[in-house]
Amino acid sequence: MKLYDTPGAPNPRRVRWVMVEKGIEDMEIVTLDIMAGAHKTPDYLARAGLPNVPALEMDDGTTITESLAICRYLESRYPEPNLFGRTPQEAAVIEMWTRRAEMMVAVPLMLGVRHSHRALAVLESQVPAVATFNRDAGLAALALLDRRLEESEWLGAGRLTIADIVAFVGIDFARMIKLRPPESLVNLGRWAAAMRSRPGAAL
């Protein structure tokens, strides 16, 4: 298999984090310079269909994008440690928190960065109002995670799951614009410290 990757970007980082958690080492990594438009070349678009990174090219040539789809595929190929749920109920709860983490926290914060960080203007037309709205929405949603983490050590289950990876990567990406969770969210702070101690955080 071959993973088309971009260091520093949050969605590829999700996949690399899953690979570290599962000890996946039999993967060829192809680094793309998206700042130079490497994800928009005819060759890459012919493989991926969209100018999206990451992309996973399987041994038969099938290529998938969307980080969560790639992570779910890796879960099926490398089932331990389990990150998506062992029972129907657990899988549903993990999926719920993954969706909340992505739609309410990660995506808004990522848009806040993309539409305000000067260096990222090369990737798209930045709209300051989009940055402000999404940054504020993402920060407000952190209170939901904090309440969940008051009752649970991790977001989706009694162990680290894909929900934690999605949430933390989104939150951590916001550091590019010096945006950090309020210190008053003590449960979120405890969880974030635990996430930073894992090998995947160094990616």
According to the model, what pLDDT value does residue 168 have?
Answer: 98
71 lies in which domain range?
2-77
**Residue 65 within any structural domain of the chain:** yes
According to the model, what pLDDT value does residue 93 have?
Answer: 98
**Distance separating alpha carbons of residues 18 and 93, to the nearest angstrom:** 19
Residue pLDDT, tens place only, 172-192: 999 988 889 999 999 999 999
Q: What are the respective helix, strand and coil percentages of the chain, to the nearest 5?
A: 60, 5, 30
- Are residue 156 and residue 92 in the same domain, yes or no? yes
Residues lower than pLDDT 50 in the chain: none
- Are residue 17 and residue 43 in the same domain, yes or no? yes
- Are residue 102 and residue 190 in the same domain, yes or no? yes
Domain tally for the chain? 2
Return the biggest CA–CA distance within the chain: 50
Residue pLDDT, tens place only, 102-127: 999 999 999 999 998 888 888 888 89
- Are residue 144 and residue 57 in the same domain, yes or no? no
